[in-house]
Structure 1
Amino acid sequence: MKIPVTIHVAGSRYDQRRCVAGFTLIELLVVISIIGVLLSLSLSGVQAAREAARRAQCSNHLRQLGLGLHQFHGIFDTLPLGNDRLYGRNQSWSSAILAQIEQTAIAESYDRSVAWDEPLRNASLISAVIPTFRCPSSIFDGEGDTDYAGVMGSALASERANAGIDLNNGVLISSTPVRLRPVSFSEIIDGTSNTIFLAEVVDRMPDSYGLWADGRNTISHDNGGINLENSGEIFSFHRGGAQVALCDGAVRFLSESTDVNLIGALCSRYGYELVNEFFAH
């Protein structure tokens, strides 16, 4: 089907009409389809580039937090407790390193000797939005949220060691009546390059466990894989996996296909597992 074009010649005694060759309807539809495909590819490329930038920024945040923990250890010769539960205060590792991540103003006002949400001293501070605690790929962050959890340990690793269930065999442990003191680097038997400091747990549920000031923003790996659920396992909105900070300061990307036993090995500090070969690939 040809689309006719009528041309009127001014000053002519008669209208002179002629049919000029144009696009067929099919050709027009093909062109429109090609343009649509090109636009779709262009948008996909833009989205991929944006996510790559967000992932890089997330990696930088984890690296800063890991450096903050190293600086804390350099000052006190020990790491902070992941959750200091003494007297029910539930103080977090996050608040312990505020001064080390350039949040001096909050650090000077925040009182770690009382409950994390103590109404008179801390309640006005815990809603602070601290960018270093946020993954830019998160879509539900609110006031006071964090997308990074301290790793307390792994139930799988303790079971393999025939030591019963020990959820406190990691690095940023929770204080208990049996052990009140935190971990030092000398206690990381598996090596700092084989042990996770921090992991993404983006938009954690319940929401109160995803607040930077709340000591319950720690996790113990049970048997969950990467990106399966965000109530207490490693989870992110990055395509294909999630990022973790190791105790040597490195940040690694764990794919969704990572074996749960390997995740458990990385989350424990004294399981005597060797995982360097995994990171070499």
Structure 2
Amino acid sequence: MNQSHSKSGSIRPLRCGMTLIELLIVFAIMALLASLLTGAVQNARESARRTQCMNQQRQLALGIQMHAGKHNYLPSNGGNDGTSTVRSASGDQVRIGTYTLAADRQFWWGVGLPGAAPPQQTGSWAYAILPSLEQTEAYQSIQVESAGPLFRCPSRTRANPMVPRDDSYGKYSAGDRAWAKTDYAGNRRVMLNLPDAQRLSAIADGLSNTLGTGEKAFDPIIQTETSWYYDEPIFSGGSNGTVRSGLLIERDGPGARYQNNWGSAHPGGALFSRLDGSTEFLTSSVDGELFRSLIDPNDGAH
């Protein structure tokens, strides 16, 4: 045993324990280090997820370019031609649509039409580029439950789609099938609805100065796994779930202004691609006029 001598000559054992205050200090330091480590790990994970999201947008941009190179048209957002139907879970051919309670109006959406050129394509831009993304089977067979992973950013935590159920926002006709969703929206100014489609030559500002796709705004309280409200699926032509043209970039969460706007789960902004295939992160504080010029393909601003 370690010992020490007092001035009086008596022997006292050395103190080996720690006081309560010393223990509390140690625990506080350990908690601080754990917090710093957890934050670093979370930041690293988000950085990896954001990189994956950007890579996915790059693939979508490449798909758009390949489609445009083949047809000399950018993919349209499709739409209902009055005859567009899809096989329901029971085997019947049905129309798909959203009855919006706020507008008291029924919207019928188109369903992908294999092989159709852009002016006649009833499916959305996301459906039209599936062959360029090596998803020919989903394209040819209208496999509405598939084609989802590439269109879903891992930073956005939401459940896999389920068969839609009517809610306080709308009533949904989906043929009792769980349709794949998209976290990326096309630029409504260039992904036009049926019967219109945008020729490449009509992009007066140039492909490098025009946005093609971006992450869309999302409210997890409203855009649930059973709702189609402003979150219609990949295959739905002419819907609000596949295009945006607003000037706001919103952070995911309750109260996000999701209607027609952009947004993401990433802190500070969202990811976008341009029609020339380049990708970028635009902050929520991006200059409004610059953002407007990137969305409008013919505004003359560079």
Do the structures match in fold with TM over 0.5?
Answer: yes
- Superposition pairs for residues 11-26 of structure 1, below 5 Å? 18=13, 20-26=15-21
Residues 1:130 and 2:130 aligned together: no
Q: Among the aligned pairs, what percent are the same residue?
A: 34
**Match of 2:271?**
243
Give the C-alpha shift of residue 141 in structure 1. Answer: 4.1
Q: Which is greater in Rg? A: 1
Equivalent in 178, 184, 201 of residue 216 of structure 2: 201
| CA distance in structure 2 between the aligned counterparts of 1:136 and 1:197, rounded to whole angstroms | 20
Which structure 2 residues correspond to residues 175-194 of structure 1 after superposition, within 5 A?
A: 175=194, 180-194=195-209
> Structure 1 stretches of 5 or more lacking a match?
6-15, 111-124, 153-169, 275-281
C-alpha distance in 1 between matches for 2:243 and 2:155: 20
Structure 1 residue 203 displacement after superposition: 4.2
Correspondence for 1:213 among 235, 243, 248: 235
Does the CA-based 8 Å contact 2:246-2:262 persist in structure 1?
A: no
Provide, for residues 47-82 of structure 1, a one-character-per-residue CA deviation record: whole Å limited to 9, x for no partner: 000000000000001000110011111111211212
1:172 touches 1:183 (CA, 8 Å); kept in 2? yes
Give the aligned CA root-mean-square deviation in angstroms: 2.4
Q: Which residue in 2 is equivalent to 1:96?
A: 128
Do 2:138 and 2:147's aligned partners in 1 also have CA atoms closer than 8 Å?
no
The amino acid across from 2:145 in the alignment is S
Please tell me whether the aligned partners of residues 141 and 203 of structure 1 are also in contact (alpha carbons under 8 angstroms). Answer: no
Kindly indicate whether the alpha-carbon contact (under 8 Å) linking 2:76 and 2:125 is maintained by their aligned counterparts in 1. yes
Report how far residue 264 of structure 1 moved: 1.8
Aligned counterparts of 1:198 and 1:141: Cα–Cα separation in 2: 23
Q: What residue ranges of structure 2 are gaps of 5+ in the alignment?
A: 2-10, 83-107, 111-122, 162-179
The change in CA–CA distance for 1:264 and 1:226 in structure 2 (over 3 A counts) is farther
Alignment partners' CA distance in 1, 2:212 and 2:138: 23
Question: Which secondary structure state, in structure 1, belongs to the residue aligned with residue 40 of structure 2?
Answer: helix
- The residue number in structure 1 matching 2:285 is 257
The structure where helix makes up a greater share of residues is 1
Q: Say whether the 8 Å CA contact 2:273–2:280 is kept in structure 1.
A: yes
2:138 and 2:144 in contact (8 A); partners too: no
Q: How does 1:43-54 map to 2 (within 5 A)?
A: 43-54=38-49
Normalising by structure 1, what TM-score?
0.74
Is 1:147 aligned to 2:183, yes or no? Answer: yes
1:162 is matched with which residue?
A: none
Higher strand share goes to which structure? 2
1:76 aligns with 2:71: yes
Cα deviation for residue 232 of structure 1 reads 2.1
Q: What is the CA–CA distance in structure 2 between the aligned matches of 1:256 and 1:89, rounded to whole Å? A: 31
Paired amino acid for 2:293: A
Q: What's the CA shift for 1:254?
A: 0.6
Deviations 1:169-193 (A, max 9, x none): x211113xxxx23112211111111
The TM-score with structure 2 as length reference comes to: 0.69
SS of the residue 2:214 aligns to? strand
